[in-house]
Structure 1
């Protein structure tokens, strides 16, 4: 067991944003353009996700994204690439079910960095809790074309059942909803017990996303 897991209490108290923007773009420049737009209009948490690009290209983008996030006092999370996160001094990583293990990432990044994990079942959630994640990305709520290998859709009923079981685990790790989420979903997701949402297309395709960002931040203001 990792030495860092002895510090679970302090790890779990790290601040998690209720709005996590997952970057989109056909190349480095589009990713950075979209990231800067979200930051400029009030976003405070960026996940750099470049699944189809080389690690070298991800690193080049991450270094510039780190500068942007620092400028706006926002968190930068790197999807999957743990070594890139360490090299560019990102705030942490987000790991999918087929990515680097949480324990390995913690050994590489240390106790102070944020580590999030993707989940689709209660078993996934429990495993993440045992391995010491700082937050869980649970989904998808509904179909989304953003992710190619989409897990089974949960829907609101799936979230209700999972969160009811999750609440019995006696932990303080926040759960973020992900997957095809719309603004009209916020009230129901908050009521179910979700601590926030991760979105991509909603903000990427909005010319002026200030309204969407403020509604999300206000909607979950008391949840995280």
Structure 2
């Protein structure tokens, strides 16, 4: 259905219709019509929260569009960033995390993308990359203190201190926070570009993430001294730069450490 460019609505419809029919192909997987009806009932109940969130997000999007807030917000955030891409990305990250603290990731993404994605595209970022950056940090709100619901749930299960667990989760997740900035400056991480460039970028980014994690934890088979951890962290950040020569220099520095 995706190949023939069927709409998302029709693709979902035919997928739902085909699932019970496909079960009849083998005797071991056949389901009764009672089970089909029960499955549809459960699906409707599970969809209720999503329907509510999407409906509210639609209302918010309509208010933003009709009031002109979207255009004004875009100009405001560009003004606050001073035309600097890194500052704009940091402001976008903060906005996504704040939205994601009170809303599900999808709803936070929808609202934030309406407000901020135009600002990112005006700065020369490809629309796909801009939306990936926004969605990425809308999801990461669940790991970011002070409101880190994912970490708080884990703390409750493990009977551990909530804020300490949240801070530990954020520290462990720091490499993937930095990875989002890397794919904005180097879209090869999103599999955009030539195969050779994608391959080199994926390898250097993988090494960078591992090295950053090691520098933050302070262990790599043995306990690392502070100066080596700092050097490892700095050289690992260099591996995320878009320039190939800079990344190769960072890779050599990492191998030396």
Normalised-by-shorter TM-score class? under 0.3
TM-score, normalised by the number of residues in structure 2: 0.24
TM-score, normalised by the number of residues in structure 1: 0.27
Q: Which has the larger radius of gyration?
A: 2
Identify which of structures 1 and 2 has the higher relative contact order when contacts are C-alpha pairs closer than 8 Å and 6+ apart. 1
Structure with the larger strand share: 1
